[in-house]
Amino acid sequence: MRGMVAVVTGAGSGIGLAVAHRLAGEGAEVISADLDVSACAGAAVTADLGTPAGVAAVVREVTSRYGGADVLVNNVALAPYRDAFTDIDDAAWQRTWDVNVMSCVRLCRALVPLMVERGGGSVVNIGSEAARHPKPHMIDYAVSKAALLSLAKGLALEYGSRGVRVNTVAPGPTRTATMDAYLESVALRLGIGVTAAADHVVHELRRLPLGRMNEPEDVAEVVLFLAGDRARQVTGSEYAVNGGSTASM
């Protein structure tokens, strides 16, 4: 990745932070974007990516510093847990859509043409197994991740002949702050500890053959592969990183 420029959204924690560190460790110049950039790797932009102004701030930073990017990792997402479908009003649907989908649309619209000018590039969307197997308490999140799959395939078809590859990584259960909050809710509901709740999710709810959840670094390794030249013949693909979750097969 040496000499390449990478933009990573939602890079303040979890998967995004792990991806940014992994790309930087391979020599990429990384621009990290998030609402909280205190832990970010590389140059950081504080931005609400669910707004046009937030995306514009990231685009200004990468174009003023480097003239464009070679890699774009669309990771930022909201994944709120809902008690019921009817709890999600129009404003909540719109906010999830703006952050999870429109951030990706706007960044791709600005940066993919610059990739073409630079001779090519790679876009990696961080999806979710929920896109194909939606969970009833996160339906707005699942719908948004399904949209990212379609967007990636369409962009792959349009820009493949111009040197830009577009792929999706679909993580299963991953130990992030969002997952930790979910595990606390499971623990409270079942009257058990958080460690026991994690075991319950792994072995009972998700039935993971590999016997553990993802760490963010597990996802970052697959993103690194797709971002670089080793995946030069891979586009329009979806890579599941889920420990073999039988719930998503």
User: Catalytic: which of 81, 141, 159, 182?
Assistant: 141
**The 164-171 sheet, strands edge to edge:** 43-46, 29-34, 5-9, 71-74, 121-126, 164-171, 238-241
What is the C-alpha to C-alpha distance for residues 79 and 96, in angstroms, rounded to an integer?
A: 8
Which residue has 């993580």 as its token pair? 171
Q: At what angle do helices 90-97 and 139-159 cross, to 10 degrees?
A: 30
CA-based nearest residue to 220, from 56, 8, 63: 8
Whole-angstrom distance, CA of residue 77 vs CA of residue 98: 9
Q: Is 239 an annotated catalytic residue?
A: no
d(CA 26, CA 36): 24
What sign does the dihedral 200-206-211-214 (CA atoms) show?
A: negative
Other beta carbons within 10 angstroms of residue 29's beta carbon come to 21
Q: What is the set of active-site residues?
A: 141
